[in-house]
Structure 1
Amino acid sequence: MQHQHTPDARAAEPCIAFRNASVKRGDRVIWRNGTFDIPAGSVTAIVGTNGTGKTTMMKAELGLVPLSEGTVRVLGRPAGEMNRRIGYVPQSYTSDVDSNLTAEQSVLLGLTGTRFGIHPTTRAERDKAREAMAFVGIADRARSRLSELSGGMRQRVAIAQALVADPLLLMLDEPLANLDLASQRATVQVLAKLNRELGMSIQVVAHDLNMLLPILTGAVYLLDGHPHYAALDEVLDSDLLTHLYGTSVRVVTTPQGDMFVTPGPDGDVPGQDTHTPTEISGFHRHQGGAR
Structure 2
Amino acid sequence: MGTSIPARHHSAPPRQADDTAQPAIVFKDAAIRRGDHLIWSHGDFTIPQGSVTAIVGTNGAGKTTMLKAELGLLAIAHGSVTVLGEPAGKANQRIGYVPQSYTSDIDSNLTAEQSVLLGLTGTKFGFHITSRAQRQQAREAMDFVGVADKANYRLSQLSGGLRQRVAIAQALVSNPQLLMLDEPLANLDLASQRATVHVLARLNHELGMTIQIVAHDLNMLLPILTGAVYLLDGHPHYAAMNKVLDAELLTHLYGTTVQVVTTPQGDMFVTPTPDEPAGMNQDTHAPDEVARFHHHAGEQHRQ
In the superposition, the TM-score normalised over structure 1's length comes to 0.89
Q: Alignment partner for residue 196 of structure 2, among 165, 178, 187? A: 187
CA deviations 1:215-267 (Å, max 9, x no partner) are 000000000000000000100000000000011001102379x4511003468
Contact 2:21 2:48 in 1 (8 A): no
Q: Alignment partner for residue 155 of structure 1, among 160, 164, 168? A: 164
Contact 2:18 2:50 in 1 (8 A): no
Q: Tell me by how many angstroms 1:119 deviates.
A: 0.2
Partner residue, 1:112? 121
RMSD: 2.3
Q: Tell me by how many angstroms 1:288 deviates.
A: 2.8
Q: Which amino acid aligns with 2:176?
A: P
How does 1:40-119 map onto structure 2 within 5 Å? 40-119=49-128
Q: Which runs of 4+ in 1 moved over 4 A?
A: 1-4, 7-10, 265-268
Q: Which amino acid aligns with 1:220?
A: V
3-state SS in 1 of match to 2:116: helix
Instruction: Output the CA distance in 2 between the equivalents of 1:55 and 1:8.
Output: 23
In the superposition, the TM-score normalised over structure 2's length comes to 0.85
Partner residue, 1:272? none
Contact 1:104 1:143 in 2 (8 A): yes
Q: Which amino acid aligns with 1:201?
A: T
Q: Tell me by how many angstroms 1:167 deviates.
A: 0.2
Distance 1:121-1:3 versus aligned 2 partners, 3 A rule: closer
Partner residue, 1:214? 223
Contact 2:56 2:63 in 1 (8 A): yes
Question: Quick check: 182-191 or 10-19, which moved more?
Answer: 10-19
Distance 1:242-1:229 versus aligned 2 partners, 3 A rule: same
Contact 1:247 1:266 in 2 (8 A): no
Q: Alignment partner for residue 260 of structure 1, among 259, 264, 268? A: 268
Q: Alignment partner for residue 288 of structure 1, among 269, 293, 298? A: 298
Contact 2:119 2:173 in 1 (8 A): yes
Q: Tell me by how many angstroms 1:28 deviates.
A: 1.1
Partner residue, 2:253? 244
Q: Tell me by how many angstroms 1:65 deviates.
A: 0.6
Instruction: Output the CA distance in 1 between the equivalents of 2:48 and 2:71.
Output: 17
Partner residue, 2:237? 228
Q: How many residue pairs were aligned?
A: 272
Contact 1:170 1:203 in 2 (8 A): yes
Q: Mind listing any 5+ residue stretches in structure 1 that lack a counterpart? A: 269-276, 278-283
Contact 1:3 1:199 in 2 (8 A): no
Instruction: Output the CA distance in 2 between the equivalents of 1:112 and 1:211.
Output: 33
Q: Tell me by how many angstroms 1:8 deviates.
A: 11
